[in-house]
Chain A
Amino acid sequence: MGTFFIIASLVLLAVILLQIGKITEIAGKLRGEEDMQMRSNAFHARLGVVFMVGFLVFTIVSFMYYKNSMLGYGPHTAASEHGVWIDNIFNVTMVVTGIVFFITHILLFWFAYKYRERTGHQATFYPHNNALEMIWMGIPAVVMTFLVIGGLSVWNRTMSDIPDGMKVGEDYIEIEATGLQWQWILRHPGDDGVLGERYYKNITGLNPLGQLWEDERNLDDIHPSELVLPVGTPVRVRIIARDVLHNFYLPHFRVKMDAVPGLPTYFVFTPTTTTEEYRQRLRDYPEWQQPDANDETKQRWETFEYELACAELCGRGHFSMKRIVRIVEPEEYVAWLAEQKSYYSTTIKGTEEDTAKGVLSEAGM
């Protein structure tokens, strides 16, 4: 770090020294000011064109270089149904804005060069042209209309809740993610497919979600350490915050929603690619064929996992709220679910906090 600072200081010093030289140079030439001015104009006008060409080339080259980070390309394709729609509208927007970016930059620096000040040259008095202005107001308006319509149709499809008539636990899965400083607690509904009630004042060290054990639906709820979901089934995630704002963020699935204390939110999505399929997809890319940092015997694609992150600043541990997400075949999911023990049975049952006894006997369990 010390060397780094020294390098930075040297750069600064060099620039200053260079300039002191230039100042004296200019002072010497003050007499021929107009000539100097014209030369300077020509120089900087050309430099503008060089900059423009360099910038546009750099844009293209860096696009190619980072194409695997782009939405919808190669290893960065979405793993959810609506994610593909988002990637598409993203790419349409990229093409449209890319064209505008190139045209306007070429015109900007080309005109600046072409109309640089020269001795004996005069500027044109051309204050306005209504027809021209209508054209360049109209074109963006039309293009924006299409982008708005396209974007909103994706948005409204993506954000719509589970349709009426679909049954929880059968047609879709409802799970819950609770953000707290600084981790996610996940909850699966267990066999009954339904999440039990909770109340924040019931939260204790043993009962981190404040589940009401009088509510039978809580008794089979699972607190898994990984978010495991079957491929192809819609998932409705209830998103809850226990202390401050968090954000339930699944980058590979294009899922993002704030967790708000006192205001449960949700996101519905359908995973379309299992973890294994995604790994197979990554296998073709050289950057994924590197040895894994934690396990030298494997390549990176072999150890790839989907991830859950937090995307809303929530305090000093914000950057570390990770959970592994595994998308599996439906049979695998059933098997996994069968292995899981309910949080009640492993942690609560028989403790002082166990308020479920009465309910259980009444229900004849």
Chain B
Amino acid sequence: MASIDIIREEELHDGHDEHHHHDDHHDDHHGDKYQSNFITTYIFSTDHKMIAKQFLITGMFWAIIGALMSLVFRLQLGFPEENMAWLKPILGKWITVTDGVGTLDPEFYYALVTMHGTILVFFVLTAGLSGTFSNLLIPLQIGARDMASGFLNMLSYWFFFLAGAVMFASLFLSTGPFAGGWTAYPPLSALPQAMSGSGAGMTLWSVSLVFFVVSVLLGGMNYITTVLNLRTKGMTMWRLPLTIWAFLVTAILGLLSFPVLVSAIFLLIFDRSMGTSFFLSEIFIQGQALENVGGSPILYQHLFWFLGHPEVYIIIVPAFGIVSEVMSVHARKPIFGYKAMVLSILAIAILAFIVWAHHMFMSGVNPFIANIFVLFTLIIAVPSAVKVFNWIATLWGGNIRFNTAMLFSIGFVSLFISGGLTGIFLGNSAIDIQLHDTYFVVAHFHIVMGIAAFFGMYAGVYHWFPRMYGRFMNETLGKIHFWGTIIGAYAIFWPMHYMGMAGVPRRYYRFDNFEAFSHFTAMNQFITVAAIIVFSLQVLMVINFFYSIFYGKKQTELNPYNANTLEWTVPIGAGHGNWPGAIPHVHRWAYDYSKGGRNIHQTEPLSPGEQDMGNDHH
């Protein structure tokens, strides 16, 4: 009995006397037969709390790699004439030194841009964000001892790790990593003759992403099953914290869209190595006419963006959830319009599947279909506006604690507004004729789903750090991190709007070939300097993170923020199984903050005649 911490049958047979017996007399100790030694505790762990940390720290590793890549290509864009010979020890043959002046190889510039995109989108903002917080919070906030399958959950992390290992290996290929953009459009990605990175680099890119999708699917199935089946007694769907709604919807989006990416990758692999013509037709390259006819590169784009668009919501929706929760806790107010917040997440998720071709207005699809995709795309502004106004209304009348987590939540709303509004330009196909593939797009998506998602992640990390490590991160360093990052991030991306309006295309190695694009030398230098400063602030955050794991201020109160959700009923440093005793039952929604002048925890029964916001219908 002592070792049965997390037998799922306990929950499944919740009324059964014998099992209740187990539950109530749970031994308070760390580890169980599944987590008995170093390897099973820290490496092949099946404890969702440990897997969350694994996702987070792996994500941080990739964030640093991805950001360093961006610094190298920003140096190229800001200071194209400068000597880069000092990078030769790291980049080797990709720096050509003539007369003592080192130049970055254009192909490697494109490899850096491509890897930066792939790493940040998939490894950092999908695995690092949703992987971390879905794992950490789903069992803790719904009152479950672990995920539905701890084993699959472990596999989910290790497939992610494997994907990362393969991608990392591709960086060291003599032909270079894949360099055809994170979207990997064929024929560029299909033909090694077209670009050296499209050889072995593309093969490893494909393999890595297939492993990554396996990871997402294993994780997603687990998240969905857990939320639907393992909620504690009384935790109805309308009583779930918004974080859980967000993770549930994210997992569903991933489950429905990632397999389509795999299908695109498989067809691409067939075209690359088996002579099929799914995406290839009438190509003359390197002095040779290829036999392939009848394929369509646009088919790939449809398949890719059928994942690619939901993917941006897979990135941002968890941030919606985290920000809503953090904001409510620290404003000491219920989240304004809880049901509208849930419904707007659902609406955004449904729309996510019918807007993919807005990435393809200028790709040669029939212009008529833009009519449908513009309509659905701009409809997304409506649920998005509801979310923004509801966040602002949550602040109204609050008693707001300005800790780092709250600052990042407020910053998130600012970024989501700034980046969301520029989406209204790009989603309108007529305006997209001019802005498509310019720096305006770069500014738009970096602000709305890059920086904003990072802010959601930071809000979560600062807020739940004590839940993960029993200590707090340093608040002063955190606040410097916040102010520096929000100012710096705007300094990087705001000017790019002007470049985009002027028509400067993205993915240019240098701008001086064109009179129309070469006016922005000073701006490009400014952006590069800002990027270096912002990067150094993220290093500060990483230092704060690891320092605080060991030396941070200790968490002494079980519920340090006086929050209403279940994760703060779990003892500090709890082992696998979370609650040493019985799992608490839930009697109300998660947001009874300042109700009648006090905070009422979810576990507190309703007083006679009291209305539960989570169950009544207005």
> Interface on A for B, CB 8 Å cutoff?
1-2, 4-5, 8, 11-12, 15-16, 18-19, 22-23, 26, 37, 40-41, 43-45, 47-48, 51, 55, 58-59, 62, 66, 69-71, 76, 83, 85-86, 89-90, 93-94, 96-97, 100-101, 104-105, 107-109, 111-112, 115-118, 121-130, 132-133, 136-137, 139-141, 144, 147-148, 151-152, 154-156, 158-160, 180-181, 200-201, 203, 205, 210, 242-245, 247, 249, 251-252, 254-258, 260-263, 265, 287, 304-305, 307, 309-320, 322
Contact = CB atoms under 8 A, between A and B. Distances in A.
A59 B494 CA distance: 9
B536 A147 contact: no
A309 B194 CA distance: 19
Contact of A200 (B289, B484, B498, B517): B289
B297 interface: yes
B180 interface: yes
Nearest to A261: B283
Given A47-B483, A181-B194, A257-B362, A124 B397 contact: yes
Contacts of B173: none
Contacts of B421: 97, 100-101
Nearest to B397: A124
B476 A123 contact: no
15 contacts: A11-B536, A12-B539, A26-B475, A45-B400, A55-B414, A104-B417, A115-B397, A140-B385, A147-B428, A148-B378, A158-B430, A242-B283, A312-B185, A314-B194, A318-B110
Contact of A112 (B336, B400, B434): B400
Nearest to B498: A66
Contact of A104 (B297, B388, B519, B596): B388
A86 B298 CA distance: 25
Nearest to B294: A262
Nearest to B383: A137
A13 B500 CA distance: 34
Central interface residue in A117, A137, A242, by most chain B CB within 10 Å? A117
B429 A151 contact: yes
Contact of A257 (B364, B484, B505): B364
B298 A263 contact: yes
Closest CB pairs A-B (n = 5)? A262-B281, A251-B503, A124-B397, A159-B367, A151-B428
Contacts of A71: 434, 501
Given A101-B417, A101-B421, A48 B410 contact: yes
Contacts of B382: 137, 140-141, 144
A94 B593 CA distance: 39
A115 to B, nearest CB: 4
Contacts of B484: 15
B618 A130 contact: yes
Main secondary structure of the interface of A (DSSP, over half): helix
B495 interface: yes
A121 B289 contact: no
B292 to A, nearest CB: 8
A206 to B, nearest CB: 12
Contacts of A249: 437, 505
B272 interface: no
Contacts of A155: 367, 370-371, 374, 428-430, 433
Contacts of A101: 417-418, 421
B402 A40 contact: yes
Contact of A305 (B181, B375, B502, B515): B515
A126 B613 CA distance: 11
B331 interface: yes
A312 B508 CA distance: 10
Contacts of A320: 513
Nearest to A159: B367
Contacts, number: 388
Interface in B72-118: 75, 79, 82-84, 86, 105-107, 110
B260 interface: no
B546 interface: no
A133 B337 CA distance: 8
Contacts of B280: 261-262
Interface in B388-417: 388-393, 395-402, 407, 410, 413-414, 417
B225 interface: no
B414 A62 contact: no
Contact of A62 (B332, B487, B495): B495
Contact of B618 (A16, A109, A118, A128): A128
B297 A112 contact: no
A126 B338 CA distance: 11
Contacts of B340: 128, 133, 137
B401 A125 contact: no
B297 A203 contact: no
Interface residues of B, number: 136
B36 interface: no
A11 B533 CA distance: 7
Nearest to A93: B425
Interface string B60-74: 000000000000000
Contacts of A23: 474, 476-477
A127 B129 CA distance: 28
Contact of A133 (B75, B386, B474, B597): B386
Contact of B188 (A66, A151, A313): A313
B433 A254 contact: yes
B187 A261 contact: yes
Contact of B613 (A70, A127, A210, A265): A127
Given A4-B79, A148-B428, A140 B381 contact: yes
B69 to A, nearest CB: 16
Given A86-B433, A124-B594, A2 B86 contact: yes
A282 B598 CA distance: 66
A319 B513 contact: yes
B437 A311 contact: yes
Interface in B254-296: 280-285, 287, 289, 293-296
B374 A125 contact: no
Central interface residue in B332, B362, B397, B402, by most chain A CB within 10 Å? B402
Contacts of B543: 16
B379 interface: yes
B55 interface: no
Interface string B576-588: 0000000000000
A263 B295 CA distance: 9
A254 B434 contact: yes
Nearest to A68: B502
A148 B381 CA distance: 12
A51 B487 contact: yes
B43 interface: no
B476 A26 contact: yes
A32 to B, nearest CB: 15
B514 A123 contact: no
Nearest to A55: B490
Central interface residue in A58, A136, A247, A265, by most chain B CB within 10 Å? A136
B397 A123 contact: yes
Contacts of B233: none
A228 to B, nearest CB: 18
A271 to B, nearest CB: 16
B53 interface: no
A90 B498 contact: no
Given A117-B401, A125-B596, A245-B185, A90 B364 contact: no
A200 B283 contact: yes
